[in-house]
Structure 1
């Protein structure tokens, strides 16, 4: 069951317009590294991509309309080449980024493990998690950084970063309720950020979305190992 909490709202689907005030009728379905359908018309299993008749972005299609396949020499510590390729392709589609830019395999694996985890206030596990519990886990597991528990504390303890200077792994902070900072996510690429939303759990949204843009309060950066 999805818990609607004002401090952590979200868009409904990847690539769709923000609809944070709408109630979700179903719990999010988590996508794992075995196989799964994560975008309408695109099914991915390790080492393969199957497209339907739905159109795909021109930046992701090559000749004959086939999705770009990463090369076989992708470095991926602790991962086999097939898993690395699949994760790169999956998140290249989600982030509208070139596969070559997605080199942080620890981050991609973490996103895949958390993907679709449902939201619950105060949660900090892959059974359910809130926004700051999720960012705490990513900072700890991917970047080796210990950070405070709440969104406001994470804001207070991080250095301010202008939007044009945001880079992968930075915080993005929002004001969605009566408190100063009530929502937090992790910046990825192309104005995209990952966060734990109340409506769809862990997902990717866009900073330029009409819901998130007016609520944005700035970026934050912590020293990483």
Structure 2
């Protein structure tokens, strides 16, 4: 009986000792888990390319945000650039319209019509009636028209008559004519110069014609070609 009691007591003691050791081991393992969890919780979850992830949130790319801010600042800077005050919207629209209009009349590309003052003055005088000796917006003759145009567009002073303008200009071959040069004609039986116009481009010239007033004609027209007597460039 005593031997059985002793054996039973020994088994109980061994059992209690095993449970205590197991509890200590379990406690140590749980402590390690808590420490690891604590370290992981305090760590800032940062990945490549500065992408931060917040629990329960959406991935935020800080580099993308910086790029957006930089783009916004660039657009703001560009928007602060002030346009040329001398170019109002109405002037720009008018210039564009005249380029389109006269590109058709002159059979030329819009890019070649880069003198707004010339186009505006042609358009101002377009259709004005011809009258010998006239120099007003009501009517004018060819030499008065060239005199006014070169003064207002090119700041060049010319004498009053076609013959005088011919005498005071340098001769220019037809293939070398440039915008603003004068073109001279004999339109009557006299040997003197009786008609003058302003060369534009593409063999076209503007003038005050007896038949239709201020208009654009072609040097190769059947009427003007045999009467053409040369080009002249105002002397500087």
TM-score in terms of structure 1 length:
0.64
Post-superposition offset of 1:179: 3.9
Moved over 2 A (4+): 76-79
Q: Does 1:167 align with 2:178?
A: yes
Counterpart residue number, 1:188: 200
Give the whole-Å Cα distance in 2 for the aligned partners of 1:165 and 1:182. Answer: 22
1:55-66, aligned counterparts within 5 Å? none
Q: Which residue of 2 aligns with 1:205?
A: 217
Q: Is 1:219 paired with 2:231?
A: yes
Larger relative CO (CA 8 A, sep 6+): 1 or 2?
A: 1
1:185–1:196 contact (8 Å) kept in structure 2: yes
Q: Give the superposition deviation at 1:80.
A: 1.7
* Structure 1 residue 77 displacement after superposition: 5.8
Q: 1:122 aligns with which of 130, 133, 136?
A: 133
Deviation at 1:96, TM superposition (A): 0.2
1:77–1:187: structure 2 CA closer, same or farther, 3 Å change rule?
Answer: farther
What does residue 86 of structure 1 align with? 97
Identify unmatched segments of 5+ residues in structure 2. 1-82
C-alpha RMSD of matched pairs (Å): 1.7
Q: Distance in 2 between matches of 1:209 and 1:107?
A: 23
CA displacement at 1:81 relative to structure 2: 1.3
Match of 2:162 among 142, 147, 151: 151
Deviation at 1:195, TM superposition (A): 0.3
Tell me the number of residue pairs that the alignment of Structure 1 and Structure 2 aligns.
Answer: 150
Structure 1: unaligned runs, 5 residues or longer: 1-72
Residue 137 (structure 1) aligned to one of 144, 148, 164: 148
- The structure whose residues are more often helix, as a share, is 2
**Equivalent in the alignment of 2:32:** none
Shift in CA distance, 77/101, structure 1 to aligned 2, threshold 3 Å: farther
Cα displacement string for residues 100-137 of structure 1 (whole angstroms, at most 9, x for unaligned residues): 00010000000000000000000111110100000000
Note the alpha carbon deviations across 1:131-188, whole angstroms, 9 max, x for none: 0000000010000011000000000000000000001000000001114200000001
Q: Distance in 1 between matches of 2:227 and 2:191?
A: 12
Contact 1:77 1:105 in 2 (8 A): no
- Describe the SS at the equivalent of 1:168: coil
